[in-house]
Structures are given as C-alpha cells and as structure tokens.
C-alpha cells in the first residue's frame, strides 16, 4: 500500500472513530453544577461553595479566581451515585451522595481535621 492510500485509510478510520465518539450518548448528569458544602462538625469553615463540570460521569473542578489547586477523582455513576475524593494541598475530602434530575445531596468528611458535613448541588447548565 503506498503512502497516499495508507494516509487515506488512517484518516478514514480516524474520522470513523471520532464520529462514533461524538455520537455517544451524554450522561444525564453532564453539565456544570454549583455545590455548597456545609460543615456540621469539626474546625473547618462553616461552608464552602464550588463549581464542578461533569462529562460522561467524570468530574472536573472549575476553579474560582485565586483558588488553590484542587483535584477531584472518582465518578458520578449512571444512576447518579456520587463517590468522590477532593484534594487541596494535603487535605483530602471524601464525598458521597446522589444526583437526581437537576439537584443532588450527600455527605462529606475531612478526616485529618475531624470535619464532616453535608453538601447540596444544583445543575446550572
């Protein structure tokens, strides 16, 4: 097979794969969410507000101006189950709960500071 044919086959295969990925159904939870975390116990601040983006169950933190670097790992299940680890500096928060429709709720804890509380979320887009 000459170079032109190889390139054409590769491009055709690439376009097929891209088209298939673009046609994949979006998760019903995909979009931007506002999250409010309220502290019920421990020495943490009374509340925190965050924005996250969900894309096919994967969560990405949307930093506000001046925020410290923050990473989010874990996923949102197809049924809305939330199981996330949120890290900022040396602090690690475990968050669990459920999203349903355009809202969600659950609990969180930051073991190293003895903090725990609840969170609520609202879908923005």
- Residue 71 · residue 84 · CB < 8 Å: no
> Has residue 18 got a pLDDT over 80?
no
Q: For residue 35, which of 115, 97, 111, 114 has the smallest C-alpha distance?
A: 97
Task: For the domain made up of 31-123, give the CATH fold.
Answer: Lipocalin (2.40.128)
So where are the chain's domains? 31-123
- Write down the pTM of the prediction: 0.77
Burial of 33 (0-12, 13-18, 19+ CB in 10 A): buried
Terminal C-alpha separation, the chain: 48
Tens of pLDDT, residues 19-69: 444 444 568 999 999 999 999 999 999 999 999 999 999 999 999 999 889
Residues of the chain above pLDDT 70, percent: 79
Q: What pLDDT is recorded for position 45?
A: 94
């Amino acid at each position: 097979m000459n170079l032109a044919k190889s390139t054409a086959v590769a491009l055709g295969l690439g376009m097929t794969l891209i088209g298939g990925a673009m046609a994949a159904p979006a998760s019903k939870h995909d979009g931007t969410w506002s999250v409010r975390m309220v502290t019920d116990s421990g020495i943490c601040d009374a509340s925190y507000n965050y924005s996250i983006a969900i894309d096919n169950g994967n969560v990405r933190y949307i930093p506000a101006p001046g925020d410290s670097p923050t990473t989010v790992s874990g996923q949102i299940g197809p049924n809305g189950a939330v199981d996330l680890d949120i890290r900022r500096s040396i602090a690690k928060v475990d968050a669990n709960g459920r999203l349903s429709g355009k809202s969600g709720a659950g609990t969180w804890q930051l073991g190293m500071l003895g903090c725990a509380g609840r969170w609520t979320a609202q879908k923005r887009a």
